[in-house]
Amino acid sequence: MSDVIPLGPGARMLTTREAAQRLGVSLRTVQLWVEADILPAARTPGGHRRIPYNAVEALALSTGLGGETSPTGSPRVTRKDLLRAETGARGASMRSAPADVPVEAMDVLLVSDDQAWQEACTLALSPYGQAVKLRFAETGYLALLQIGQKTPDLLITHLDLPGMDGMAMLHTLERSESISGMRTLLLTDWTPQTLIRRGGVPASVEVVHTPVTADAIAVRVGRYLLGQRVMGRAAQLE
């Protein structure tokens, strides 16, 4: 949640639109990153979000993101400024990298037979554009086939599925070790005790208790996407 702060005339702050232009992403993507605490933000007494200029620059350099340059007249950011900036990409390398290095899209497999949920997630993830590739499977069996062809970066699944349910699918993946290098979000209204009685979930699986909105899932995907870009950029710099 953004705090209400007074901004003096010399404060180096950007609007969400200016931040989006600097990072080369959509306005909605910046809003999602603020909600996910990837970018720090404050609110003016009038209720408008403002993002520290240094934080935007630090995120741009650490991930290789970059659209339009900062507004004319803005002071040049020094390395000392960047080290002071508080961003959601804490711990990432602050070294600059060539902006033309391609970044592979995050591959997300959504397992659900609920068409309305599929459409809601498609809409919620649309601000990420080509940075996220979304595919679907309606059953656990079809999901296993897709994972066998190409392991996604992120698997999002419900438990209640026709035919092979989500629990059976996860246990199959665990035995085949396909789950080890894949982030997995399990969406369920089952209690922890019920999950244990049904055999438990693999340790690498993150359980998200429902109800949960598609926008909340988009925020989580934003965190993973930034982490993926930071790690990819760091690997390119080695």
The CATH number linked to 74 is 1.10.1660.10
The phi, psi pair for 189, rounded to 5°, reads: -105, 10
pLDDT category of residue 35 using cuts at 50, 70 and 90: confident
Please tell me whether residues 112 and 227 are part of one structural domain: yes
- Its domain, for residue 225, covers 106-232
Angle at 50 between CA 34 and CA 11, to 5 degrees: 140
CATH of the domain at 110: 3.40.50.2300
Same domain, 16 and 73: yes
Q: What percent of the chain has pLDDT over 90?
A: 31
pLDDT over threshold 50, residue 129: yes
pLDDT for the residue 194: 92
In order of 178, 192, 226, 230, the CA distances from 172 in angstroms are: 9, 20, 29, 31
**Residue 98 forms part of a structural domain:** no
User: What average pLDDT does the chain have?
Assistant: 77
Q: Cα–Cα distance between 55 and 58 in angstroms, integer? A: 5
Any alpha helices (H) in 138-213, and if so which ranges? Answer: 140-149, 166-176, 192-197
Per-residue pLDDT, averaged over 108-123, amounts to 95
* Higher pLDDT among residues 191 and 61, named by residue: 191
- Residue 77 three-state SS: coil
Least confident interval from 57-61, 98-102, 157-161, 163-167 = 98-102
pLDDT band, residue 31 (cuts 50/70/90): confident
Which of 44-53, 58-67, 201-210 has maximum average pLDDT?
201-210
Reply yes or no on whether the pLDDT at 238 is more than 70. Answer: no
pLDDT at 4: 44
**Does residue 14 belong to any structural domain of this protein?**
yes
The mean pLDDT of 92-119, rounded to a whole number, is 70
pLDDT at 53: 84
Q: Looking at 30-44, 121-135, 143-157, which range is the least confident one?
A: 30-44
Residue among 63, 35, 69 at smallest CA distance from 49? 35
Same domain, 50 and 153: no
The arithmetic mean of pLDDT across residues 77-96, rounded, is 38
pLDDT of 15 > 70? The answer is: yes
As a dihedral over the C-alpha atoms of residue 114, residue 115, residue 119, residue 124, rounded to 10 degrees, the angle is 0
- Residue 236 pLDDT: 55
Three-class DSSP category at 158? strand
More confident residue, 76 or 37: 37
Domain check: are 136 and 66 in the same one? no
Domain count, the chain: 2
Looking at the structure, do residues 136 and 69 belong to the same domain, yes or no? no
Residue 40 lies in a domain: yes
Quickly state the pLDDT bin for 154 (edges 50, 70, 90): very high
Residue 100 lies in a domain: no
Q: What is the pLDDT of residue 196?
A: 92
